Structure 1
Amino acid sequence: MKKKVLIIENDQDIRELVTYILEAEGFNTMSTREPENLEQILLFGPNLILIDEFINNKPGHRLCHKIKQVSGLRDIPVIVLSTANDIELIATECQANGYIRKPFDGREIVDKVIGLVNDQSLSY
């Protein structure tokens, strides 16, 4: 069974690029600008979530923090994507399992996603 990655990204071009990269590596993806609610995430049942730090003018780390508080979601690895200089601090504070600084290299996305999907204890 293919591993599932949920991509929550404000920028359509980046959503499409990350979707292309991960699907080429054999992942099943779902991408959105912003999930309707946490139940939508539960229904997709991702093995990993990529979250943009800026979602429709709202901080993505708030969504990350909410995910980490919900039973059934808290054990799903989360990677925060951002151009912010303090992305490491942001990811730590929202209990993300890692971060990727934009602009990113496609190989970096693949390596982090594969690492976290295969080893839930891996971070940063």
Structure 2
Amino acid sequence: MKKRVLIIENDNDIRFIVEYILNERGFETLSIPEPLDLLEIIPFRPDVILLDEFINSRPGHRLCRKIKQVNGLKNVPIIIISTAQDIELIAAECEANDHIRKPFDVDDMVATVLRIVNHQSLAY
């Protein structure tokens, strides 16, 4: 069964590129600019969430905290993706599982997703 990645990124170009890359590497993806209701993404059952830190001028780390409080999502690992200088601090503050700095190297991005997904599947 393919691992599922939920991509929450408001930049259409970046969202398309990340989705394309992950699909080519064998992942099943769902990409959205912003969730209107977190309960709507539960049926996708993501194995990992890639979350942009800047979602329509709102901080993604707040959404990260909200996700971690929703039954059906709270155990899903989150990777914050951002151009923010203090991305390590932001990721730690919202208890994200990792971070990816933009602009990212494609192989590094895929390796981070794989590491998190593989680590998560060992936990079950």
TM range (shorter): over 0.9
In the alignment, which residue of structure 2 is the partner of 1:94? 94
Q: Hey, what's the Cα distance between the residues in 2 that align with 1:87 and 1:53?
A: 8
Aligned-pair distance for 1:60? 0.6
Spell out structure 1 runs of 4+ moving beyond 4 A. Answer: none
Instruction: Encode CA deviations 1:39-69: one digit per residue, 9 max, x unaligned.
Output: 1121211000000000011111111011112
Q: Which amino acid aligns with 2:56?
A: N
Partner of 1:26: 26
* Count of residues paired in the alignment: 122
Instruction: Provide the C-alpha distance between the structure 1 equivalents of 2:41 and 2:91, rounded to a whole number of angstroms.
Output: 19
Aligned to 1:57: 57
Q: Distance in 2 between matches of 1:26 and 1:115?
A: 15
Q: For structure 1, which runs of at least 5 residues remain unmatched after alignment? A: none
Partner of 1:17: 17
Structure 1 residue 103, shift from structure 2 partner: 0.4
CA shift for structure 1 position 108: 1.1
Q: Render the CA deviation track for 1:45-102: whole Å, top value 9, x for unaligned.
A: 1000000000011111111011112222111010001111110000001110000010
Normalised TM-score (structure 2): 0.94
Aligned partner letter, 2:105? D
Provide the rounded CA distance (Å) in 2 between the counterparts of 1:102 and 1:30: 20
Aligned partner of 2:80 in structure 1 is 80
SS at match of 1:88: helix
1:114 aligns with 2:111: no
Q: Does 1:37 align with 2:37?
A: yes
How high is the sequence identity, in percent, across the aligned residues?
61
Hey, which of these two has a bigger chunk of helix by percent? 2
User: Structure 2: which 5+ runs fail to align?
Assistant: none
> 1:119 corresponds to which letter in structure 2?
H
